[in-house]
Amino acid sequence: MQELIPINIVIGDRTYRVKVQPTDEEVVRKTIKTINDKILEFKTNFAGKDMQDYISMVLIWYATQPAENKNESHPDDTEVMEVLKKLELQLDKLV
């Protein structure tokens, strides 16, 4: 098991120190950038709200978005797909 590495992230105006797998760092940083970009967009479109409102809006937006890379497999999915293909071949032989 890989050691977790600490990284600092900023969401809205707050800094958080979190520990992530080294392989997940890039994905976390890209996600945080998307979140902060959306906060800025909502601040521009809905002036006069407080940061909590913007973060809530982004949370709702993010939770309802379809996965961007729906066609890409997760690394663990590759193993599952291989097993499923083998099973499918065995089933085809039986038919």
Q: Give the pLDDT mean for 29-38.
A: 93
Check if the beta carbon of residue 9 is closer than 8 Å to that of residue 18. Answer: yes
Q: Model confidence over 54-69: pLDDT tens digits?
A: 999 998 998 888 865 4
Residue labelled with tokens 């958080």? 16
Number of domains in the chain: 1
User: Has this prediction a pTM greater than 0.85?
Assistant: no
pLDDT at 95 (0 to 100): 58
Check if the beta carbon of residue 20 is closer than 8 Å to that of residue 8. Answer: no
- The answer on pLDDT for 11 being more than 80 is yes
Give the Cα-Cα-Cα angle 33, 46, 31 (nearest 5 degrees): 15
Check if the beta carbon of residue 26 is closer than 8 Å to that of residue 7. Answer: no
Query: Residue 35 has which token pair?
Result: 């979140």
Query: Range of 54's domain?
Result: 5-94
Percent of the chain with pLDDT over 90: 49
Residue labelled with tokens 């760092």? 25
DSSP three-state, residue 9:
strand
